[in-house]
A and B are shown apart, each in its own frame.
Chain A
Amino acid sequence: MSPGPSPWDRAPAARSGRAPAAEPVRTMLLWVPDWPVLAAVADAGHDPAHPLALIEKGVVLACSPAARAEGVRRGQRLRDAQSRCPALRPLPYDPGADHRAFEPVLDRIEAVMPGVQAIRPGLCALRARGPTRFYGGEAAAGAELLRAVAVPGARLGIAEGPYTAEQAARAAEAGGVLAVPPGEGAAFLAGLPVSALGDEELAALLRRLGVRTLGGFAALEAAAVRDRFGEAGARAHALAAGRDPRAVQPRVPPPELEVALAFEPPLDRVDQLAFAARQPAERFIAGLRGAGLACTSLRVVIDDEAGGRSERAWLHPRWFSPGDVVDRLRWQLQGAMRGGEQLGAPITGVRLVPDEADELGNHEQGLWGGAPEERVHSALSRVQSLLGHEAVVTAAVGGGRLLDERRVLVPWGEAEDSGIRPAGAAPGAPWPGSLPGPTPATVFAEPPPVLLLDETGEPVRVDERGALSAPPSLFAPAERRATSDVRAWAGPWPLQQRWWDPARHRAAQRLQLVEADGTAWLLLLEEGRWRAEGRYD
């Protein structure tokens, strides 16, 4: 009989008809404490020394060491956490940013040791055998790994099975390696409390049964544990005994699709950048095409010398061609530099990241060329490259009482519901106070002042009870000096907007009139001044 787990121990697995559990694999496990916080700090540039907490569904998901020192704990409600640490800065948890930030760490590991399994952001495992042999010992391999990762506070555990290795990593010092010698996994785990199983319900039950350590739990008879706690309990029992049946499943490194450009010396002119980006953009699209993908959403990240960063996601109604990529880069630069040909600071780097990619087959052109929409799109893209991205728009009718609020303009090529329309501003919803009847063809984005006079030449006013001081008789837009007779009019109609919000509150009176030449106007009286909201021309 070979040393190690006896056949008796394996019996339950055999009895239940599963394949017998394999020998636990010697595993290296890297753990970065508070990874979500580190990722958020790196992503949004917060001060790591400040007490931070990542909040998901009103509960603390992770917190910075400063916050932990104040008593903030994972799983606390935000309110409780804030009562313990009033200076706490709550941040919304963004799993995407979390994964995105961990990806370079995995890449760095893969550069020195193949076969990484990402368990979750901040936690990854490798088989220990290869690196150990290559670097001549576990300690040397572990040190090499930590050096390659280059994340402060990362810890490495080496043991049989990922679970034991994770416990070893948690027991290791910050920036250190803890290797549990082969065969001593169960002894290492024996001293840990049952809460280390990560199953709070089971741990509470075990504590009530008088089992306080993993050693105590592992000493229980496997068949009895299965009978009492079921499959999950049996699995926890195997973990507690240092017999983690899981093996490391190395990930297949995804193809490198994003393209990064570094400029040395930094470039400060848009045309230089656009020129420099042309070939990389072609490489970027060719790389995607080689993977059978078409990019439908692109993220362009621009870094400048002064440490500034401009990041923006661009959508495309079909898919990006190299020219489109360069256009987006140029528009983003033009938006970032605010007038003039010079940027705020010279640009040191540009990254093109495919945010969303789709199977190329879904975007295949028809045999006889594309739809007429394609022709429209290419022409409009040309205009956009001439005037800028926001210069070509499609329109939609939004919700609101004021006519300008009902006009929603979306740059060509962007999805209409990309957060431009404020939440709840549905055009179909009832908007008490909105204008019935035909709408003016001209709605002024900045209402021009107008003159509205009564018969005696006095400006028409509206009193507190909503009555006109006198019937309007003469009217003139400000840009036209001569007044004309008011032929017909109606109003005033009161308009109250968001009376509960002092910052966005608007109180106005509306009035319709037709002047002598048959032009009708919609006027708005606000703060004692008449303005033209729209013109029926």
Chain B
Amino acid sequence: MPRAPRDAAERDGAVRELQSRISAMQRTRIDDRAALPTAAAIAPALPGGALRAGSVYSLPEPGAAGTLSLGLAMLAEASRAGLWCGAVGLPDLAPEAAAALGIDLRRLVLVPRPGEQWLRVTAAVADALDLVLVHPGGAAASSSAAADAALGRLAARLRERGASLVALGAWPGSEAVLRVAGARWSGLGTGHGLLQRRELRVETASRGGRMQRATIVLPGAGATASTATLDDLGADVAAAAREPAALPTAGVEHRTAAVS
């Protein structure tokens, strides 16, 4: 059904105003939960503009353009602030790239090959570290009742401890699903030049179904961001956002419990 653009803009404005009034009335909002230090460059790509302590962010598998760098950039500011970071299941991670993005290697712990026990290892590591990059490596996809229960326990433990996971791969119940929609390098021509910096267009589907788009420049500071409503974006991203949220999670209950 065709609709006048003016009406659409009005409706968006109304929705936003209502949302802001609702959030103003809630005493405990997700923004009140401790936010982990987040680099300004990454902030536009995250719901609420910061990494939340105790939640899981889901990124695509490493290998897709810019994914691993985005994951490392998400750890960088926290590491610079003195928190401990970890990387589980990434045997080919280059420490030099991590250091270049601002991660303090003295407080970076790697478990390159956790094998079958990756979930136990992740749980043990997340017990002590503040921000963990984890690559489930296809094992998370094979969901069974036992695995779901273990993931649920891990999620509860994360919330209790205030540690966050950045999962490279699908993760049920993640706070937000980030996707690199496009990457553009500068500095390299055809037969000349050198890779210098890249622009990543990141699309974020938060649990509530809100979509965000941001352009992140790595390495380096400065990012532009735009927020859009759900129907502006492609159906695939929207589906990706809805799917994990449909799984049973304790996160929502936790928030409502905190209100009362």
Contact = CB atoms under 8 A, between A and B. Distances in A.
- Chain B binds chain A: yes
A517 B188 contact: no
A439 B94 CA distance: 8
A61 interface: no
Contacts of B84: 372, 376
Interface in A61-94: none
Contacts of A431: none
A514 interface: yes
A520 B121 contact: no
A376 B111 CA distance: 14
A249 interface: no
Interface in B84-105: 84, 91-100, 105
Contacts of B3: none
B196 A403 contact: no
A518 B196 contact: no
Contacts of B64: 517, 519, 537
B110 A393 contact: yes
Contacts of B99: 397
Interface in B155-196: 182-185, 187-196
A41 interface: no
Given A518-B65, A537-B64, A488 B185 contact: yes
A438 B219 CA distance: 7
A390 to B, nearest CB: 9
A406 interface: yes
Given A488-B189, A490-B189, A514-B195, A441 B65 contact: no
A260 to B, nearest CB: 33
B2 interface: no
Contacts of B66: 518-519, 536-537
A412 B194 CA distance: 36
A382 B120 CA distance: 10
Given A444-B92, A489-B188, A536 B195 contact: yes
A535 B69 CA distance: 10
A296 interface: no
A535 B188 contact: no
A387 B196 contact: no
Interface residues of A, number: 49
A498 B182 CA distance: 40
B187 A391 contact: no
Contacts of B109: 376, 380, 392-394, 412
Q: Summarize B's interface: helix, strand, loop or mixed.
A: mixed
B130 to A, nearest CB: 9
Contact of A441 (B68, B105, B117): B68
Interface in A11-49: none
Contacts of A403: 94, 96
B133 to A, nearest CB: 11
B129 A514 contact: no
Contacts of A392: 109-111
A387 B98 contact: no
A375 interface: yes
Given A395-B95, A441-B69, A488 B125 contact: no
Contacts of B62: 441-442, 537
B239 interface: no
B162 to A, nearest CB: 12
A496 interface: no
A471 B97 contact: no
A394 B94 contact: no
A437 B95 contact: no
B63 A537 contact: yes
A486 B100 CA distance: 26
Given A395-B95, A397-B96, A440-B97, A386 B120 contact: yes
Which of B94, B127, B129, B192 neighbours the largest number of chain A CB atoms within 10 Å of its CB?
B94
A394 B103 CA distance: 12
A406 B117 CA distance: 29
A59 interface: no
Contacts of A444: 92
A215 interface: no
A378 interface: yes
B29 interface: no
Interface in A144-167: none
Contacts of A406: 94, 96
B197 interface: yes
B252 interface: no
Interface in B124-158: 124-125, 127-129
Q: Which of A512, A518, A519 counts the most B-chain CB atoms under 10 A from its CB? A: A518
B91 A391 contact: no
A387 B94 contact: no
Contacts of B183: 517-519
B72 interface: yes
A493 B19 CA distance: 56
Contact of A437 (B182, B192, B196): B196
Contacts of A490: 188-189, 191-194
A445 B110 CA distance: 15
B114 interface: yes
Contact of B100 (A386, A393, A438): A438
A441 B97 contact: yes
A484 to B, nearest CB: 11
B108 A394 contact: yes
A408 B67 CA distance: 23
B106 interface: yes
A378 B185 contact: no
A493 to B, nearest CB: 9
Contacts of A441: 62, 68-69, 72, 93-94, 97-98
A382 B125 CA distance: 9
Contacts of B110: 392-395, 409
B194 A395 contact: no
Contacts of A408: 95
Contact of A442 (B93, B113, B127): B93
* Chain A to chain B: the 5 pairs with minimum beta-carbon distance, closest first: A518-B183, A379-B128, A395-B95, A443-B94, A441-B68
27 contacts: A372-B84, A376-B129, A377-B128, A392-B111, A394-B108, A395-B105, A397-B95, A397-B96, A397-B105, A407-B96, A408-B95, A436-B194, A437-B195, A437-B196, A438-B219, A439-B97, A440-B94, A441-B72, A442-B92, A443-B96, A445-B92, A490-B188, A519-B63, A520-B65, A520-B195, A520-B198, A537-B69
Given A406-B94, A517-B64, A519-B66, 9 more contacts: A376-B84, A394-B105, A394-B106, A396-B105, A407-B95, A441-B69, A442-B92, A443-B97, A488-B188
